[in-house]
Structure 1
Amino acid sequence: MRDTMIGVIGGSGLYEIDGLENAEWTRVETPWGEPSDAVLTGILDGVKMAFLPRHGRGHRLSPTTVPYRANIDALKRIGVTDVISVSACGSFREEMAPGDFVIVDQFIDRTFAREKSFFGTGCVAHISVALPTCPRLSAACLTAAKDQGITVHDGGTYLAMEGPQFSTLAESKMYRESWGADVIGMTNMPEAKLAREAELCYASVAMITDYDSWHPDHGEVDVTQIIQTLMGNATKARGLVARLPVLLGAQRDDCEHGCDKALEYAILTAPDARDPALVAKLDAVAGRVLNR
């Protein structure tokens, strides 16, 4: 058994949660650079919590320039065990309407301008992301959403695009009709892959703001409309997050799905061939397997 620490990555509105005790903003140094912002830590219903503004307070960072590696390292470094990603998305499905939430369980990664791994030359590792989210953590998010009266969909494929522009009409139709994606966003990749490399349980809560550009009755994506829906979604998301400590508990066993053992057989580089500088940078992320 070990202490649960829930890490929430999302917009600034998520952090205004009633009852968060000992709340404190803390700067976390990482070998991968500065995280998006300081991390707000505290205790909610007896469970440790950490909140990280993905784009920085004031939304300073574009989806491409979010320091994903630093963010995941920072959360792992301070003791986070379970990461909840909360993000806005567009919908490719009529039944997944603006204002609804989707508990994502699959991804199609179309990003191309981001560092996607902690590993590389000098320490090579290959992990499985066949099932990229944690079923246990996703189930808790689903229950929390239902408890708050949120219209929530259990499972969905998230198309991660590079951005910052929205899709063309041709792209939107292709993702929906040919590729079978359910929602589209710009931030869950490489975040989910990095969380798996860091042996963290990861769940994705996608908050639908629009129908993207495919929908004949909704026209092109309108940022003003997105912001209006996003504000309503933020209130729902706070309720969801506030319910999680009770559902997850203050203590937890090892993940039954193996998320916290993802690196067990992943590192291929022989110990005497590893780059000491890279190994040093991996202290928080992969210390469990590199230091034994």
Structure 2
Amino acid sequence: MTEITDIIKATTQIDPVTGSLNTPIHLSSTFNQVSFDDFGEFDYARSGNPTRNAVEATMARLEHGNFGYLFSTGMATISSVLLTFSQGDHLIVTKHVYGGTFRVFEDVLNRFGITHTFVDCTDLENITKAIQPNTKAIYIESPSNPILAVTDIAGVVAIAKEHQLVTIADNTFMSPYLQKPLDLGIDIVVHSATKWLAGHSDILAGAVVTNDQALAAQIYFVQNAVGATLGVTDSWLLQRGLKTLAIRMERHTASAQQMAAWLEQQSVVLRVNYPGLVSSPFFEIQQRQAKNGGAVLSF
């Protein structure tokens, strides 16, 4: 119940002007400035909007982070985070990664001299072996899309700290209701908020959360410079969707667990990929770092 209460509190930010329980939609691209020499908190909506800021604060609170940023899509989020790296930098990336993320690494970042090595991060030794002198970060996805491979998040963090590397975790499949990578030591958490966070298949959105002020400043710089921000109305819809995150995830995961167990008994099914099954090779580690096996399975 504590987690559910936290979600309700995080998504209910009382408007100080009207007392409204729902965050107002501020449909303005520009904001009046009292003084030419002393700008207020908001000036141009790409740089900041009261509605978007409120939902960014919600995302930060749900992930137990200090800094949250919203983007126009999940891939805009991931791409913007990756644009904080520079020519000559090298990243280690789980080979079990979403196709859109794979495409950015293979066909976009390579053109700008940001290189990568794909490794099976379910075996931590593979990560250590892939570290190069110019390695700057480790990018993981756990559970992964679509084969539900699980990475030992705390194990990755330990390796990263030993080698002064930044850690980035895609937490889309779990949501902050089921797993909190920042609590396990991850530096940056990314989401396609289109999925569980918004919850109604009516918007595209992405979110990133961090506790590191220096990393936050870099991410905000790219957000403001590139401008792939989440629109005001979509920000409001995301906040609305987050209000029911807990009850939706409880039902989703219960259904996934039941379906996975049923599929496992069917003679025509060779393998069920779901870390909530005791038979899964990832069951033990999933139980340690998440509430359950999640809401997605494949077979």
Structure 1 or 2, whichever has the larger Rg, is 2
When you count strand as a share of all residues, which structure comes out higher?
A: 1
Higher relative contact order (CA 8 A, sep 6+): 1
When you count helix as a share of all residues, which structure comes out higher?
A: 2
Q: Same fold (TM over 0.5)?
A: no
TM-score (norm 2): 0.30
